[in-house]
Structure 1
Amino acid sequence: MSKGNTFENDLLKLIFNATAIANIADNAASSPITNLYVSLHTADPGEAGDQTTSEATYTGYARVAVPRTAGGWTVTANSVSPAAAIEFPAVTGGSEAITHWAVGIASSGASKILYSGTVTPNIAVSAGVTPRLTTGSTITED
């Protein structure tokens, strides 16, 4: 089974840009989610995980809100990437290797993961490092 290319692109636009899919799906009218929250992980959170699964714990860490708009995410050719680099708070203590990232729906807690993937190369964080995901970080529907 697979989705058609046009629908794959439409699905990504619905999730990341809050763009309705005509005659199929609308963005919530009364209280839509306006931001998605990007998290960093020290291991693959897996399909059964949530945003707290293997989430980074360095001192200063917090998830980063990215608007569900074309200004927050670029969707093209069945792929989505951040419209600008996603910069996380600088490390003020601790050290760990960031191997994965995820996109979810809450600023904290055990919220659902919409998509996750590997960080290549891994990011070794320690005091003074500011972790960053670039516009080259992509999620592809296929």
Structure 2
Amino acid sequence: MSVGFSTTAANTALDTLGSTYSWIKLHVGDPGANGTASAATETTRKQATWASASAASKATSADLVWTGVAGSEDFTHFSLWTASTAGTFGGSGTITANAVTSGDTFTIPAGQLTLTLPVAA
């Protein structure tokens, strides 16, 4: 028996998630069940713009850029939020570990941050 979403349902769900939880926060480890663990020293959230979901996947359509990051650390995870501060946590994921030095610019290029859902085979 296959489990997962239909592609159409996954695309609809991802489009809703992307529009609801559009603010991206950086972390230096697993954000945990509430999205608050292992927060990066850089606390600025960036608002993602997303391409429409296709094939149960959704990717950013513009670069996410943090200029003059606040600390020297390795960004390894991200969390999704409903607002630039406070707001509601929607989920989290991993990014390729990237060491930064305080004052650096950190960029996640367009298309490199993706959300996916399992599709029934």
SS in 2 for 1:76: coil
Structure-2-length-normalised TM-score: 0.81
TM-superposition CA deviations, 1:28-81 (whole Å, max 9, x none): xxxxx6x721010011113x122x3211114xx411123xxxxx2012211111
**Per-residue deviation at 1:97?**
0.9
* Identity among equivalent pairs (%): 32
Give the secondary-structure state (helix, strand or coil) at the position aligned to 1:57. coil
2:47 to 59, 65, 83: 65
1:124 to 75, 83, 99: 99
Please give the alpha-carbon distance, in whole angstroms, between the structure 2 residues aligned to 1:44 and 1:125. Answer: 18
Describe the shift of the 1:101–1:113 C-alpha distance in structure 2 as closer, same or farther (beyond 3 A).
Answer: same
Q: Which has the larger radius of gyration?
A: 1
Task: Read off the aligned partner of 2:68 and give its amino acid letter.
Answer: A
What are the residue-to-residue correspondences of 1:2-81 with 2, within 5 Å?
A: 2-17=4-19, 36-46=22-32, 48-50=33-35, 52-58=36-42, 61-66=43-48, 72-74=49-51, 75-81=53-59
State how far apart, in whole Å, the 1-side matches of 2:39 and 2:84 are.
13
**What is the SS of the residue equivalent to 1:129?**
coil
- More contact order relative to length (CA 8 Å, sep ≥ 6): 2
Query: What corresponds to 2:85 in structure 1?
Result: 108
**One-letter amino acid of the counterpart of residue 88, structure 2:** K
**Structure 1 residue 95: Cα displacement:** 0.8
5+ residue gaps in structure 2? none
Partner of 1:82: 60
Q: Which runs of 5+ in 1 are unaligned?
A: 18-32, 67-71
List 4+ stretches of structure 1 deviating above 4 A.
none
